[in-house]
Amino acid sequence: METIRYKTKGTCSRAIEVDLEGDTVLDVRFEGGCSGNTQGVAALCRGRSADEVIKVLAGLKCGPKPTSCPDQLAEALKTHFAK
C-alpha cells in the first residue's frame, strides 16, 4: 500500500490523502472541506481505479470556483500517476 498527500488549491479543503494499492483507490481522506460531501466522495471512490475516479471527477466545479474538492482529488491522482 502507498499513501499520497496532495495540497489542494482553490478549495475549502487544505489537503487530500489517498491510499492506493497499485492503481486502485483504497481510501481517501480530506483535510477540511464540507464533511458530508467529502465523506461521500471518499466512499464512492473506494475500490475504483484511479483512471475511473479521474474520469468521473475531473473538471467538477464548486459554485463560482474554477475547481472543487472532487476535482482536486482527480488532480492529485493525475499528478501522482504522471510520474
The full DSSP string for the chain is -EEEEEE-SSSSEEEEEEEEETTEEEEEEEEES-HHHHHHHHHHHTTSBHHHHHHHHTT---TTSS--HHHHHHHHHHHHHT-
Q: Give the Cα separation of 57 and 81 in Å (integer).
A: 16
Work out how many domains the chain is built from and give that number: 1
Task: Read off the pTM.
Answer: 0.95
- The pLDDT value given to residue 45: 98
Instruction: For residue 54, give the CATH number of its domain.
Output: 3.30.390.50
Parent domain of 22: 2-81
Q: Give the Cα separation of 46 and 14 in Å (integer).
A: 21
- The pLDDT value given to residue 83: 67
Regions of the chain short of the pLDDT cut 70: 83
